[in-house]
């Protein structure tokens, strides 16, 4: 038969060992829980860092784009205000009669040179004229219809008169060309 004291000893050892193991597991669980918490915190901080990095890169790109647009299109108000000057110089040259051209040749040459210089400045700053011709098709992206009239020998939508040139500032419309458009019905 088994010795009762020995059984009690084994029970005590088992209880003591079990408590020791339980304490060790509790420490391991605490350490593991702390490690899990640190990993989660690390992952969260890494995610926040990556988002901040992406935000900074997006801000840099946006600022770069804004700078380029300001450089290219910042003077559009001034350019738009100079277009009537261009138009008036064109009209002055077109209105001069042959007699006036002979009498005021130096004056007209000065106007021509000034107009040429203005055109060169426009080109230097990305301003290109839109010069439609009579007979071209009306394009609402570049032309503004000032009137419509039925004109025999034309098709509806053909330009029949050009009132004023239009202008583009790089890829943006600064002012549409002002034109008259045929409204001749299809026969």
Q: Give the tens place of pLDDT for each residue, 123-149.
A: 999 999 999 999 999 999 999 999 999
32-82 pLDDT per residue, tens: 888 999 999 999 999 999 999 999 999 999 999 999 998 888 888 999 999
Q: Between the CA of residue 132 and those of 59, 120, 141, what are the distances in Å? A: 41, 20, 12
pLDDT higher than 50, residue 10? no
Handedness of CA 143, 144, 147, 148 (dihedral sign): positive
Mean pLDDT, residues 106-130: 95
184 DSSP 8-state letter? P
pLDDT higher than 50, residue 111? yes
Q: Taking each helix axis from N to C terminus, what angle separates 76-95 and 105-124, rounded to the nearest 10 degrees? A: 150
Mean pLDDT, residues 24-36: 79
pLDDT higher than 70, residue 172? yes
pLDDT higher than 60, residue 158? yes
Handedness of CA 10, 11, 12, 13 (dihedral sign): positive
For position 15, what pLDDT does the model report? 65
């Amino acid at each position: 038969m088994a010795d009762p004291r020995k059984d009690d000893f084994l029970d005590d050892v088992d209880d003591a060992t079990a408590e020791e193991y339980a304490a060790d597991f509790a420490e391991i669980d605490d350490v593991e829980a702390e490690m899990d918490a640190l990993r989660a915190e690390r992952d969260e901080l890494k995610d926040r860092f990556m988002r901040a990095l992406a935000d900074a890169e997006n801000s840099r790109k946006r600022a770069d784009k804004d700078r380029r647009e300001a450089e290219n299109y910042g003077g559009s108000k001034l350019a738009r205000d100079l277009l009537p000057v261009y138009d008036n110089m064109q009209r002055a040259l077109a209105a001069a009669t042959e007699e006036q051209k002979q009498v005021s040749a130096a004056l007209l040459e000065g106007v021509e040179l000034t107009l040429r210089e203005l055109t060169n400045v426009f080109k230097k700053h990305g301003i290109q004229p839109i010069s439609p011709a009579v007979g071209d098709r009306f394009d609402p992206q570049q032309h503004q219809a000032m009137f419509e009239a039925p004109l025999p020998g034309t098709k509806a939508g053909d330009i029949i008169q050009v009132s004023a040139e239009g202008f583009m500032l790089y890829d943006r419309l600064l002012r549409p060309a002002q034109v008259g458009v045929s409204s001749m019905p299809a026969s």
